[in-house]
Amino acid sequence: MPLVNEKDLLLPALEEGRAVGAFNANNMEMVQAFIWAAEEVSKELGEPVDLIIQVSPGAAKYAGWSMAAGMVKIAASETDIRVALNLDHATEIDQVKKALEAGFTAVLFDGSSLPFEENIRLTRQVVEMCHSRGVPVEAELGKIPRIEDYFSQSEIAYLRSLPAAEAVRIIRERAGKSVEELMAKPEDVEYFVKKTGCDFLAAAFGSIHGIWDDIWPIRLDRLIAIQERMRIPLVSHGSSGILMTPKDAERKGIKLLKGEGTLLDAIKTGGVTKVNVATALSIAFIDGFIEAWRANPSEKDFRKFGSAARDRVKEKVKEYMRLFAGKVE
Ligand code: G3H
Ligand code: ZN
């Protein structure tokens, strides 16, 4: 079917206390993996699973705006899955214009690096542009940092080699205070949403972009305080790194401190209705590709490796989809 408006996916999800996965696509194989995962999980659960495919300005530069949007539109037209196409983390008005021209059905404008009032002013401008075309806007309040803001590439490689609990201890020590200071303030929520006119809110509640595995707890207490201020679909960013469930935390030996929680808690009690995942899928793609190549290094047909990478991404996305539908404990 044609692309759908993201509002048509997130407003019912908010009512029903579930979340919709928003997965970042960089190539054809990723787009196919997401759609096939949604088709398979829909069949498995006996209920339709919705899908948001995201393209960042970086991905649009890599593939070209019309190629990136075109792939998603064609793939959506060949399935019964409801698919919205979101521009992820736009920081310039020109990127929003390009996305609207290419037919995106949602936009995240990320003014989180700007002073508060400037973030509001530019986001408002984006909202006016997008709403005049019926396209909803996600806005960012507080700041969701990147793991690279705190650690060098070689330090990240070292952290990835450690047991999860030890990596979390080190991240807490170096980044914990800063991540806390960057979180959205509940008292800003109504003012920010009213002034910007945004439809969805990417409020920072303790996550970090770009963590390689699900090891990091979010601040559930802050998320709940934000959610109590206003009924609006909330968006989880940096979700690759967030612990999936309390059981998952226990299995990994990660102790949740007071006020902390997992992705499952964020959906069940925190009002999170859109969950953004990028890094975990990029890693799944790389791992799938490399393993297939290692198993057959003399193979000349790279599609063999591309299929393995696509399968690996699909299986990872299916895990997320079951969690977001509330089918995991
Ligand atoms: O907007 C995209 C997401 O926040 C992805 O974060 O790469 O840590 O999963 P992630
Ligand atoms: Zn993000």
pLDDT of residue 329: 73
User: Would you call 141 helix, strand, or coil by DSSP?
Assistant: strand
* Catalytic entry in 50, 88, 110, 214: 88
What the block records as the tokens of 172 is: 């807490």
Q: Say if 50 falls within a structural domain.
A: yes
Q: Say if 288 falls within a structural domain.
A: no
Instruction: Report how far ligand 1's centroid is from the alpha carbon of 295 (Å).
Output: 30
The protein residue whose alpha carbon is closest to atom 4 in ligand 1 is: 237
For residue 275, CA distances in Å to 106, 125, 250 come to 14, 25, 22
Residue 31 makes CB contacts below 8 A (sequence gap 6+) with 25, 53, 71, 72, 75
Instruction: Report how far ligand 1's centroid is from the alpha carbon of 261 (Å).
Output: 18
Q: Say if 300 falls within a structural domain.
A: no
Amino acid code (one letter) for 23? F
Structure confidence by residue, pLDDT tens digits, 39-77 = 999 999 999 999 999 999 999 999 999 999 999 999 999
Q: For the domain that residue 186 is a member of, what is the CATH number?
A: 3.20.20.70
Locus of tokens 């964020």: 266
What percent of the chain is predicted at pLDDT more than 70?
100
Has residue 328 got a pLDDT over 90?
Answer: no
Instruction: Report how far ligand 2's centroid is from the alpha carbon of 89 (Å).
Output: 6
Q: Say if 251 falls within a structural domain.
A: yes
Q: Say if 69 falls within a structural domain.
A: yes
Structure confidence by residue, pLDDT tens digits, 112-165 = 999 999 999 999 999 999 999 999 999 999 999 999 999 999 999 999 999 999
Q: Are strands 218-219 and 260-261 parallel, antiparallel or unpaired?
A: antiparallel
State the Cα–Cα distance between residues 252 and 234, nearest whole angstrom.
Answer: 27
pLDDT of residue 113: 97
- The answer to whether 88 is a known catalytic residue is yes
Locus of tokens 């940096």: 238
Structure confidence by residue, pLDDT tens digits, 276-318 = 999 999 999 999 999 999 999 999 999 999 999 999 999 999 9
Q: Say if 108 falls within a structural domain.
A: yes
Task: Evaluate whether 122 touches 93 at the Cβ level (below 8 Å).
Answer: yes
Instruction: Report how far ligand 1's centroid is from the alpha carbon of 296 (Å).
Output: 32
State the Cα–Cα distance between residues 72 and 74, nearest whole angstrom.
Answer: 6
Q: What is the pTM of this model?
A: 0.97
Domain with 253, as residue range(s), is 7-146+178-278+313-324
The protein residue whose alpha carbon is closest to atom 8 in ligand 1 is: 238
Structure confidence by residue, pLDDT tens digits, 156-196 = 999 999 999 999 999 999 999 999 999 999 999 999 999 99
What is the mean predicted confidence (pLDDT) over 19-25? Answer: 98
User: Does the Cβ of 238 fall within 6 Å of ligand 1?
Assistant: yes
User: Does the Cβ of 89 fall within 6 Å of ligand 1?
Assistant: yes
User: Does the Cβ of 53 fall within 6 Å of ligand 1?
Assistant: no
Judge residue 133's burial from the number of C-beta atoms within 10 Å of its C-beta, 0-12 exposed, 13-18 middle, 19 or more buried.
exposed
User: Does the Cβ of 210 fall within 6 Å of ligand 1?
Assistant: yes
pLDDT of residue 326: 85
Q: Say if 161 falls within a structural domain.
A: no
Has residue 209 got a pLDDT over 90?
Answer: yes
Name the nearest CA neighbour of 265 among 251, 250, 246: 246
State the Cα–Cα distance between residues 49 and 68, nearest whole angstrom.
Answer: 22
Q: For the chain, what is the domain count?
A: 1
Q: Say if 284 falls within a structural domain.
A: no
